[in-house]
Amino acid sequence: MTATHEPLSKERRAELRERYLKVDTANVADVLDELGHPDYGLASSFWPIHESQNKMAGWAYTIRGQMTPYSGTGDPEKMKAVSGLQDGEISVWSGGGASGVCFFGELIALGMQHRGCVGSLIDGGIRDIEWIGKMNFPVFTQYRSPVQSIGRWGVNAWQVPVYLPGATAERVRVRPGDLILADVDGVILVPQELAEPVLERAEELTRKEVAIREDLNRGLGLPEVLEKYGHV
C-alpha cells in the first residue's frame, strides 16, 4: 500500500459509494485476500445498533479521543470535529475501547446526518439508540451505555490516522478518506487507493454469485456448479 495517492473527486466518491452499497463485505474481503491485503477486516465486536440499518458505505472521517477528566458542560473539540463532516463520509471514532462511556447520542447524530454523514463506526459506546433508529442513520459500535462522555472522555484530534481493533490483526490503521463498508457480516476497510480495483473485482464476484444462485435454483448440482464456475 502506497503512502500517497491522488484524491478522488466529489463526484467519483459519490459514485463509488453507491456501488459499494451493492456488494457484500464478504466479497470485498475475498478480493483483498486475492490482492495480498488480508488484514483489513475489523473486529467482530462491532455490531449494528439496529438490524434494519445494517448496511453502510462511506469515506472515513476520523475522530480520536481519550479518557481524561475535565470541567465544563461540554466538549468544544468534539463540536469542532463533527462540524467538518461532508457528504458521503462515515464518522470513525477511536480512543477508548471499553471505557464504559458513550461517544455520542441522538442530537450529535442528527447534526452529523444534516451535514451529509452517512453513518458512524465507533470503537466505544453509544446511547439514544431508540431515537437514532428512527433517523435511518446506520451505526456500528462496540457497546451501549447511558453514561455521557462529558467530563470523562474528550476529543483530542480529528482527520488523522487512527487504529481500530482488527479481525486478523490486533489493529487496523484507518486513514481519512479510506473506504468503510459494513453489513450483517461485519466491517471491512478498503484503502482509498485500492477502492476502485477492489470494487470492480467485488462486482465481478457479485455477478458470479447471482449466476450461481440461478443455476442452483434451477436444479444444477454442486459438482456441476464447481466445474462451471470454479471456487465459490
What's the CA gap between 143 and 101, in Å, rounded?
A: 9
What's the CA gap between 170 and 78, in Å, rounded?
A: 27
| Residue set of the binding site for Mg(2+) | 128
| Residue set of the binding site for substrate | 105-108, 127
Number of continuous H segments (helices) and E segments (strands) in the chain = 7, 11
Cβ 190 vs Cβ 32: under 8 Å: yes
| Residue set of the binding site | 105-108, 127-128
Rounding to the nearest 10 degrees, give the CA dihedral for residues 197, 164, 118, 147: 170
- In one-letter notation, the amino acid at residue 37 is H
